[in-house]
C-alpha cells in the first residue's frame, strides 16, 4: 500500500481538497483507496457530503484503541472507503499526554487493513502536533500543498525541517513532494511562487500545479468530489494530471522501522519548559501596515501596533514563546523584510533570509 499524507501547518492551502480529489481520482482509475481524515474540523467529511453528526465511528475510536479500523470504515463508492473525523478528535493530544509511543497510534491502528488497499491518503490538520506526527509516521510519502496565491511558502522551511528531524531522530524515511495549489497564471506573484518552488526544489515538486478554480469550492459545498461535480473544469483536469504523476511514481513500498525513540516526547519536553515574552519591534512609517509571521504562528501574519520611541514610529508586538529556535519575518505594506535589528539569519529556501531568534 502506498501511504501518502497531505501536510502543511498552514490552513487553507488545499490539503483537504487535494486529499478528497486525489483519493476520488485514484479510485476512479481502479485503485482501492482508503481516505483518512485526521483533522478534528472534519472537512474531508463535509467535502464528501458526510455531516459530523452522521459520524459515529471515527478515527478517534481507532487512535484511542476502542475500535479496530475495519469497523470505522465507511464505503463511499466503488474503490473508495474513508474513515472520517469530528471534533472529538481534538481531545486526542490531551488524552494521550504521557502515553508512550503515542505517535504510532495511527500506524498501529491501520495495520490490520494494510492488505486491503493500494492507497492510503491522509488529510492532516493545519498544525504540526501529535496528529500530524501520527500521519507522518504512518506514511512513506508526504504531499505538501502550497497555496501559490498566498504567503504560505514561508512555513515550508519549518515543515521540511520537521520531516528531516523525523528521519534523523526517528529513523523513519519519508519522501516529500510540493504541490503548487491555487495557481493563478494571470498574476505575477503566483507565477513567481511556482517558479521559485521549482527552482529551489527541482526534484521535489510535482510538475502538475492545481489552478484556481471556483468549481472546487462549489463541489466541496455540494459534498462531492470534482469528478462527480464537473468533469470539464480546470481543476478536474489538474487532479487527473496529478493522479497520473502519482501513478507514474508507483514504487515498492519502503520498509519501515518501528524501533524508535519517542520523537514527540522529546519535542514536548521542550514545550513544557517556561515560556518567555519576546518583544518584536521594527521601525516603519506611521501609515504603514506592519505584520509579523513566523514559526510561532504558522506563518500567518499578525498585526503589530504602533508606538513611538524618541519621536520615531516603532511597531511592536509581544509574543509568548517556549524555548527554542524560531524563524520569522516582518511584512511591511505587503513586502517581506528581515528584522533589521537582528543579524541572525537563515536561508528561507526562496532566495531570501528569515530572521532567527533563539529563546
Ligand atoms: N485550486 C483551488 N481553487 C479554488 N479554491 C480552492 C482551491 N483549492 C482549495 N480551494 C478552496 O479553498 C478552501 C481551503 O481549501 P482546503 O482544501 O480546505 O485547505 P486546507 O485543508 O489546507 O485547510 C476551501 O474552501 C476550498 O474549496
Ligand atoms: Mg483541511
pLDDT by residue (tens digit) across 178-203? 999 999 988 888 888 888 888 888 88
Which of 136-145, 150-159, 184-193 is modeled with the greatest confidence? 136-145
Per-residue model confidence (pLDDT) at position 254: 37
Question: What's the pLDDT at 269?
Answer: 53
Instruction: Grade residue 20 by pLDDT with cuts at 50, 70 and 90.
Output: very high
Residues in the chain: 359
DSSP annotation of 181 reads: E
124 pLDDT more than 80: yes
Return the residue matching grid coordinates 455531516. Answer: 51
Q: What percent of the chain has pLDDT over 90?
A: 63
Helices (H), 201-355: 214-221, 226-229, 234-248, 263-272
What's the pTM?
0.79
Query: ∠ at Cα 108 (32, 39), nearest 5°?
Result: 70
Mean per-residue pLDDT over the chain, rounded? 88
pLDDT in tens, 255-266: 333 323 344 554
Cβ atoms < 10 Å from Cβ of 334: 11
Name the residue at shortest CA distance from atom 20 of ligand 1.
12
Residue 267 has pLDDT above 70, yes or no: no
Q: Of all atoms in ligand 1, which is nearest to the CA of residue 221?
A: 27
Closest atom of ligand 1 to 18 CA is 17
Q: Which residues surround ligand 2, an ion (CB under 5 A)?
A: 15-16, 43
Contacts with 174 (C-beta within 8 Å, 6 or more apart), sequence order: 136, 139, 140, 141, 142, 163, 166, 167
For 325-341, the pLDDT digits (tens) are 888 999 999 888 999 99
**pLDDT number for residue 42:** 95
The cell for 96 is 494521550
What is the atom index within ligand 1 of the atom nearest the CA of 212?
Answer: 3
pLDDT of residue 253 exceeding 60, the answer is: no
Give pLDDT, residue 260: 33
What is the DSSP code (8-state) at residue 125?
P
Instruction: Work out the average pLDDT over 103-126.
Output: 95
What pLDDT was estimated at residue 259? Answer: 29
Look at ligand 1, atom 9, and give the residue with the nearest C-alpha. 14
> Using one digit for the tens of pLDDT, what is the confidence trace for 28-38?
999 999 999 99
Statement: residue 168 has pLDDT above 80: no
Amino acid at each position: 500500500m502506498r501511504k501518502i499524507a497531505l501536510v502543511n501547518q498552514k490552513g487553507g492551502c488545499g490539503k483537504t481538497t487535494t486529499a478528497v480529489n486525489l483519493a476520488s481520482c485514484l479510485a476512479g482509475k481502479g485503485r482501492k483507496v482508503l481516505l483518512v481524515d485526521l483533522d478534528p474540523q472534519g472537512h474531508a467529511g463535509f467535502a464528501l457530503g458526510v455531516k459530523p453528526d452522521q459520524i459515529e465511528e471515527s478515527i478517534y475510536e481507532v487512535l484511542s484503541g476502542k475500535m479496530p479500523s475495519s469497523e470505522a470504515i465507511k464505503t463511499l463508492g466503488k474503490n473508495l472507503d474513508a474513515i472520517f473525523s469530528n471534533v472529538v478528535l481534538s481531545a486526542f493530544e490531551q488524552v494521550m499526554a504521557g502515553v508512550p509511543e503515542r505517535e504510532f497510534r495511527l500506524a498501529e491502528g491501520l495495520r490490520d487493513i494494510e492488505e486491503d488497499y493500494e492507497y492510503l491518503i491522509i488529510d492532516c490538520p493545519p498544525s504540526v502536533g501529535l496528529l500530524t506526527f501520527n500521519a507522518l509516521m504512518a506514511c512513506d510519502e508526504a504531499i505538501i500543498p502550497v497555496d501559490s496565491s498566498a504567503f504560505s511558502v514561508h512555513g515550508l522551511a519549518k515543515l521540511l525541517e520537521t520531516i528531516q528531524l523525523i528521519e534523523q531522530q526517528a529513523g523513519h524515511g519519508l519522501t516529500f513532494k510540493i504541490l503548487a495549489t491555487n495557481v493563478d497564471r494571470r498574476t505575477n506573484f503566483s507565477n513567481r511562487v511556482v517558479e521559485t518552488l521549482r527552482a529551489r526544489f527541482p526534484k521535489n515538486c510535482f510538475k502538475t500545479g492545481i489552478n484556481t478554480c471556483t468549481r472546487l469550492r462549489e463541489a466541496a459545498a455540494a459534498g462531492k468530489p470534482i469528478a462527480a461535480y464537473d468533469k470539464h473544469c480546470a481543476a478536474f483536469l489538474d487532479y487527473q494530471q496529478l493522479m497520473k504523476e502519482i501513478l507514474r511514481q508507483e514504487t515498492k513500498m519502503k520498509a519501515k522501522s518501528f524501533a524508535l525513540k519517542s520523537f514527540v516526547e522529546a519535542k514536548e519536553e521542550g514545550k513544557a519548559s517556561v515560556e518567555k515574552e519576546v518583544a518584536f519591534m521594527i521601525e516603519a512609517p506611521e501609515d504603514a501596515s506592519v505584520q509579523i509571521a513566523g514559526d510561532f504562528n504558522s506563518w500567518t501574519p499578525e498585526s503589530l501596533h504602533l508606538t513611538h520611541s524618541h519621536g520615531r514610529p516603532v511597531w511592536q508586538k509581544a509574543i509568548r514563546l517556549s524555548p527554542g529556535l524560531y524563524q520569522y519575518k516582518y511584512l511591511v505594506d505587503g513586502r517581506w523584510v528581515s528584522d533589521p535589528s537582528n543579524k541572525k539569519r537563515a536561508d528561507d529556501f526562496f532566495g531570501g533570509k528569515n530572521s532567527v531568534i533563539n529563546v
